[in-house]
Chains A and B, each alone.
Chain A
């Protein structure tokens, strides 16, 4: 009798636990909603990704797994149009399987739907966001992902992102500057960087104006002019200077990636989602670990065609492939002038 009573109590407790397990369905559904949301272009509030917040200051661990979710989810929730998306999602996701009851769907779904590179292991995570996606993986094919079995365990420690180089002192650039004028202008640029960090963009612009006058070939000046104007919320002007900086930063992928990712951010604020996604994409091609580009691209990837895939890791996801025609590949050019030779060729 005593044992029977104990058995009943245990059975009751088990039953209680079983009934409590039911919300897992809604958790999975929420995850799916989030994943879907991540794949839509959303207006970006620049304050969320502007100079102070996003780029370098996040510790790598803060972006894993739930990582992207809190960050981007919160952005989405704050963005004017994003809340509407959340509200509309039940309709959008009506086709999502209600039977998904796996208790750990988050990692699997994230991995399967290419919502971002962050939930992947180290090998894939350094590639472009779409790279971690299986071609078959899309929100619409989530049931398939469920059949893949348990996802690989997430090892957050292996995920790396590169700090925004523009947040750090420019000591290295000053040391390696090749000419006296470049050294002088780099030092002024460093002054401007500090002014910017102190929240003095107007002073930074003046300082950078002096730096440009000393050495106009220094691309860092234009980069920080871009950041200064971004801080002043003059995004078209910021964009112009980031583009100008890009020209001189070709040999420094991290910096070029940073310039491109800031370009992406400017485009986003200006409502040019496709341009923004492309800028992020190019940024990732230059600096695969650029956090801003990864976050931005993961949010906007759906709005553009996938990147060319020189390797498997850069293969586009199926949903991206559906989003539009691919970016034009540089076709092997014909000879510049296949026409008949001239009668009177100019000499050199």
Chain B
């Protein structure tokens, strides 16, 4: 009786509790449900992934007449993940064959979206000559001749925050049905039947796990996996499981199956490449097979689908056998579910699992990518730059960058081997060097080596370092003098004009004086401007600056981008601090017939939908007259031909080029800057701590410059600097100033404005004077040879 009563009381209590507890519990549950719903909707309708911005190099134009070796053709293909196949067996994009018997190179290009134009991914057939020169290019299908093709740009790096999750979003409609089937067969073959939670599958998995004594198989559906990836951690507990199931249910009520599936296929993690995580089926197809999903075979699709369960364990590159077993399991499921026929299954399971060994060597240009990052940071907020999936197209040529790397590395190694005093134990105190290469006519930065090793020092010496340019600044004075001549000023200076090279004290600012000295205190007396620049004579240059006035030099410097320099005479010999970028910019004006095209790195920025956000337009501004630019180019050519830069010729760099050495006091900085008609580069060498190097620019930087330019220009034709109208070249007798005659003992090449060029042949040196052996010169004539046997100044 008592028991009955107790039961009654208990029931009553339960009812009372239930009466009071259930409504709040229901309310709590509904609130929770709503919050999950909100969370899900917010995530699905907003930005689902943080996609890093990718930085790409420039494209490569290939045309008949190029030598494959000169443009690093096969190295480029390797970096772009092209793979060699047997001739006549090319089936997919990213494959090429080179049959040396028939001299045919067939390549199936990748498709690629480039700003303003798309690379369709054509089959290209090239005929290669015996020396490796491209003879013809034609469409591999229509056999229509093509005059040029372009290789897609190379990925240089990414701009991201936190983890680098590399993924390319692909709509479901762009994936082959078989690919989707393989994923469903591998992960959730009842996907289109359940409502986010598959009770049958859960029960089956629970039984398998129970009988095995440990967790063998999960019961999560694709939707649950997606919810876990989006919102939850990998922690295995009941709370997480319930939340995951609830969210899956909500997602299925809110969104269509196809939407969920598309998100899943773009979201899943499928492996790692260094610090870059491979996410989504597109990236996986590209990374493991160098193919787009549409080009994969069924066996390859099954391989990717099989990796979802355990990306590292079933990685086909590292664990080929396991990956193959798993692939065959997936193929079996596909057969069982009726996605493929028995014949297709039989064919697929017997196929070897061939992956494309991805290009592992680092092909990034870290200093350049940093430079791009800094440049873009001025225009884009960090969240956009690191998470909106921008695609940044740049001017860098990876092949040329590699040549720059090699030139710097080899030169530094050679310098340290030859001069042990330059070696340092501390990594951060090592001898440093940097190289910048630009195309003067387009302003494209083609290579940027900001230092010896990015891993040791991220300090970009091209843009962040300010050092004295030394004699590399001297052309400014000569330009100012020549400009005065062209302007019809009181002093007339031409390359063949004379200037005194002797000890000289410059009086300035009332009671101040400055006495520049020549290298090794060697003086040459009266010399032509041409010779003074060629041999980098400090005294003659300073005297010239004094003659024309310091303000003219400063004006010219301002015109060339150095701003308002202080009125100290030492500026004429480079007594200012500038970056290699500024020096390159100045010389680029000289190399481009006096027109300035500012150096630039970013060609275009494209958002993840392919819209061009910004694009670069080729623009130029006339800074110097073409006549003036050509005249100084001519003088700088003599520097390389037989002046302080002659070392370039000694190492076999023979094409027309102009340049200038630069060395500062105590040889703390060694420069060489020079250019051919189509490429300019500047090399600086020294210690960050401004220790004495003890070497001139010709000794420390010229070898790297020459090696680099020799390699980087090898694919270009040898062309001379274009002569502008209004300039004439003439051979003159420096003793008399007249046009050189056949009997003149000494002649030099000169460049003149047409209106100032000598027109009369030397009347002093005749057959009679030659026969008598007498000097034709007036009283002070001298035949003294003053050819310097070393570089007097630098």
Q: Which of A301-348 contact B (CB under 8 A)?
A: 330-348
Contact status B737-A181, CB under 8 Å = no
Q: Are B148 and A345 in contact (CB under 8 A)?
A: no
Q: For the complex formed, measure the closest distance between the CB of A56 and the CB atoms of chain B, giving whole angstroms.
A: 24
B717-A341 in contact (CB<8A): no
CB-CB nearest in chain B for A335: B737
A interface footprint on B37-69 (CB within 8 Å = 1, 0 otherwise) = 000000000000000000000000101111000
CA distance A337 to B782 in the complex (A): 17
Docked-complex contact A338 and B531, CB < 8 angstroms: no
CB distance from B50 to the nearest CB of A (A): 31
Interface residue A157 (Cβ < 8 Å from any Cβ of B): no
Q: Determine how close the nearest CB of chain B comes to the CB of A1; give it in whole angstroms.
A: 84
- B737 near A339 with CB under 8 A, answer yes
Contact B442 A336 (CB under 8 A): no
Does any Cβ of B come within 8 Å of A179's Cβ? yes
Interface pair A342/B525, CB less than 8 Å apart: yes
List residues 651-678 of chain B with CB under 8 A from any CB of chain A.
677-678
Residue of B nearest to A178 (CB): B717
Contact A237 B527 (CB under 8 A): no
- Give the complex CA separation of A246 and B594 in angstroms: 13
Let me know if B442 and A212 touch, CB within 8 A. yes
Distance in Å: Cβ of A137 to nearest Cβ of chain B: 32
Of the candidates B621, B677, B725, the one whose C-beta lies within 8 Å of that of A250 is: B725
Query: Chain A: which residue is nearest B776 at the CB level?
Result: A341
Residues of A within 8 Å of B440, CB to CB, are 216
B760 is an interface residue with CB less than 8 A from chain A: yes
Q: Are A214 and B61 interface neighbours, CB within 8 A?
A: yes
- What is A's interface to B at a CB cutoff of 8 Å? 178-184, 187-188, 202-203, 205-206, 208-210, 212-217, 219, 225, 237, 240-241, 243-244, 246-248, 250, 330-348
Report if B193 contacts A (CB, 8 A): no
Q: Kindly state whether residue B315 has any CB partner on chain A within 8 Å.
A: no
Closest A residue by C-beta to B757: A333
User: Judging by beta carbons under 8 Å apart, are A348 and B747 in contact?
Assistant: yes
Is B387 interfacial (CB-CB < 8 Å)? no
- Asked if A336 and B750 sit within 8 Å, CB to CB, the answer is yes
Contacting pair B65 A330 (CB below 8 A): no
- The 8 Å CB contact of A216, one of B677, B752, B778, is B677
Neighbouring A residues of B732 by C-beta, 8 Å: 336
Q: B619 is contacted by which of A178, A187, A237, A338 (Cβ under 8 Å)?
A: A237
Smallest Cβ-Cβ distance to A181: which chain B residue: B717
Q: Are B617 and A205 in contact (CB under 8 A)?
A: yes
Say yes or no: A347-B746 contact (C-beta < 8 A), given A179-B717, A240-B620.
Answer: yes
Tell yes or no: B494 within 8 A of A by CB.
yes
What chain A residues lie within 8 Å of B238 (beta carbons)?
A: none
B22 within 8 A of A: no
Q: Chain A residues near B526 (CB, 8 Å)?
A: 342-345
B781 touches A341 (CB 8 A): yes
Contact present for B785 and A181 (CB under 8 Å) = no
Cα-based distance from A343 to B785 in the complex (angstroms): 10
13 contacts across the A-B interface (CB closer than 8 A) = A178-B717, A181-B716, A183-B63, A184-B147, A187-B147, A205-B617, A237-B620, A243-B626, A244-B593, A247-B626, A335-B758, A336-B752, A348-B747
Q: How many A-B residue pairs have CB under 8 A?
A: 177
Q: Please, which residue of chain B has its CB at the minimum distance from the CB of A237?
A: B619
Q: How many whole Å from A206's CB to the nearest CB in chain B? A: 6
A213 pairs with B444, CB closer than 8 A: yes
Which residues in A have their C-beta under 8 angstroms from that of B719?
179, 217
What distance in Å separates the Cβ of A280 from its nearest Cβ neighbour in chain B?
16
4 tightest A-B contacts by CB? A180-B65, A337-B737, A184-B63, A342-B526
- Whether B683 sits at the interface, judged by CB under 8 Å, is no
**Whole-angstrom CA separation of A335 from B441 in the bound complex:** 36
* A345 x B778 contact (CB < 8 A): no
Give the contacting residue for A341; candidates B736, B750, B754; CB below 8 A: B736
Within the complex, the shortest CB–CB distance from A208 to chain B, in Å, comes to: 7
B716 — which chain A residues lie within 8 A by C-beta? 181
| Closest chain A CB from B756 CB (angstroms) | 5
Do A217 and B786 form a contact, CB below 8 Å, given A184-B61, A247-B724, A247-B725? no
**Chain A residue, CB-CB nearest to B66:** A180
Q: Which residues of B contact A212 (CB under 8 A)?
A: 439, 441-442, 618
Q: In whole angstroms, how far apart are the Cα atoms of A222 and B45 in the complex?
A: 49
Q: Does B164 contact A (CB under 8 A)?
A: no
Contact B677 A348 (CB under 8 A): no
Chain A residues within 8 Å of B498, by CB: 337, 339, 342
Complex contact A214–B63 (CB within 8 A): yes
Please tell me the number of chain B residues within 8 Å of chain A, measured between CB atoms.
Answer: 73
A332 contacts B787, CB within 8 Å?
Answer: no
B620–A244 CB distance below 8 A = yes
The verdict on A344 contacting B780 (CB below 8 Å), with A181-B63, A216-B441, A240-B595 known, is no
Docked complex Cα distance between A334 and B756 (Å): 7
Are A347 and B785 within 8 A (Cβ)? yes
Inter-chain contacts of A214 with B (CB < 8 A) = 61, 63
- The CA of A203 and the CA of B754, in the complex, are separated in Å by 39
A335:B738 contact, CB within 8 angstroms? yes
A208 lies within 8 A of B780 (CB):
no
Q: Do A341 and B444 touch (CB < 8 A)?
A: no
| C-alpha spacing A292/B507, complex, angstroms | 56
Give the residues in chain A near B421, CB-CB below 8 Å. Answer: none
| B735 sits at the interface (CB 8 A) | yes
Tell me whether A346 and B531 are in contact in the complex, defined as CB-CB below 8 angstroms, given that A180-B63, A208-B618, A340-B780 are known contacts. Answer: yes
CA distance A335 to B626 in the complex (A): 23
Q: Does B722 contact A (CB under 8 A)?
A: yes
B496 CB–A CB distance under 8 Å: yes
Complex CA gap A178/B65 in Å reads: 11
Question: Chain A residues with Cβ under 8 A from B620's Cβ?
Answer: 237, 240-241, 244
Given the known A-B contacts A214-B61, A337-B737, are A346 and B748 also in contact in the complex, defined by CB atoms under 8 Å?
A: yes
Q: Does B497 contact A (CB under 8 A)?
A: yes
Q: Is the CB of B439 within 8 A of A347?
A: no
Q: Per a CB cutoff under 8 Å, which of A225, A340, A348 touches B746?
A: A348
Cβ of A128 to closest chain B Cβ, rounded Å: 18
Given A337-B496, A342-B498, 15 more pairs with CB closer than 8 A = A180-B63, A180-B717, A181-B65, A219-B722, A240-B622, A335-B737, A337-B734, A337-B737, A341-B780, A341-B781, A342-B526, A345-B734, A345-B735, A346-B524, A346-B734
State A332–B618 Cα separation when bound (angstroms).
41
Which residues of A have CB within 8 Å of B617? 202, 205-206, 209
Q: How far is the CA of A347 from the CA of B531 in the complex (A)?
A: 9
Decide if B759 is an interface residue (CB 8 Å cutoff): yes
Would A217 and B618 count as touching, CB distance under 8 A? no
B518 within 8 A of A: no
- Asked if A342 and B750 sit within 8 Å, CB to CB, the answer is no
What CA separation (Å) do A188 and B593 show in the bound complex?
22
Q: Tell me whether B131 is interfacial, beta carbon within 8 Å.
A: no
Highest count of chain B CB atoms <10 Å: which of A246, A250, A344, A345: A345
**In the complex, what residue of chain B is closest to A248 when comparing beta carbons?**
B722
* Chain B residues, Cβ within 8 Å of A330: 754-755
Q: Which residues of A contact B734 (CB under 8 A)?
A: 337, 342, 345-346
A343 and B782 form a contact (CB under 8 A): yes
Find chain B residues with CB under 8 A from A347 CB.
Answer: 746, 785-787
Chain A residues with CB under 8 Å of B223's CB are: none
Q: How far is the CB of A135 from chain B (nearest CB, A)?
A: 27
- In the bound complex, residues from chain A placing their C-beta under 8 Å from that of B750 are 336
A337 to B626, CA, bound (A): 24
When C-beta atoms are compared, the residue in chain B nearest to A188 turns out to be: B148
Distance in angstroms between the alpha carbons of A216 and B440 in the assembled complex: 9
